[in-house]
Amino acid sequence: MRKSSGRTIIVGDVHGCYLELAQLLREAHVVVGRDRVIFIGDLINKGPDSKRVWELFCRVQGESIMGNHEWSMLQLVDGDHHRHAKYLSDLERDFGSALPAFVRCVRKWPFWLDLGNYMLVHAGLAPGQHPSETDPWVLTTIRTWDGVGDDLLNPENPPWYEYYRGKRTVVFGHWAALGGMQRDRVIGLDTGCVYGGMLSALILPERTFIRVRAHQPYHRIHK
């Protein structure tokens, strides 16, 4: 790996796509201990190798914010069974005896991360609210805004980022159907790798992108 002056590499939704993540980190020439590698959440589920993704995450001394799939996993482990219950048995089978260590790791992840000029959040921001004032469910699931926060997934409502007026650039994932997006103050990093799209990373301070194509579709996309 080549030498680096130290960068921040923000990785979009991995969803268990280990081979693609390994390729992306190679192409980024990550220098462990010098480059800061931050994941936007949803490292797990849907794809084939959630455990190997976590192992690679640990090898590069990665950090992550909480994705909806990690948040759901914690709720399931704590006894709150809901519609994502099917994924817990998959994780138990994949991780085996390593699952408790992974759960302990995830419990330390924040729901948002302030990098100064950049704000990282898995799904998005409620208009007019700082992440510290926002329900974790909103931070990990919002796509659209209904004006009050009751219906955050209705495609008939405007995307949350149409209301964003902050000065920091918000970097988010979660919404693969967008195919990634770039605006002056909003960057979407989920380019649908697990659905056969690409895995993307934002490199700072250059504000450049690295993308690798999925080896195959692993899951059907739900828009």
pTM, 2 dp: 0.93
Over the chain, what is the mean pLDDT? Answer: 93
H-helix or E-strand spanning residue 172: strand 169-172
User: 137-143, long-range: CB within 8 Å, 24+ apart, which pairs?
Assistant: 137/71, 139/66, 139/111, 139/112, 140/41, 140/66, 140/67, 140/68, 140/71, 140/111, 140/174, 141/68, 141/174, 143/174, 143/175
State the pLDDT at residue 148.
Answer: 86
Domain coordinates in residue numbering, the chain: 8-213
pLDDT beyond 80 at 77: yes
pLDDT beyond 70 at 154: yes
By the 8 A CB rule, do 218 and 16 touch? yes
Architecture in CATH of 8-213: 4-Layer Sandwich (3.60)
Cα–Cα dist 65/109, whole Å? 5
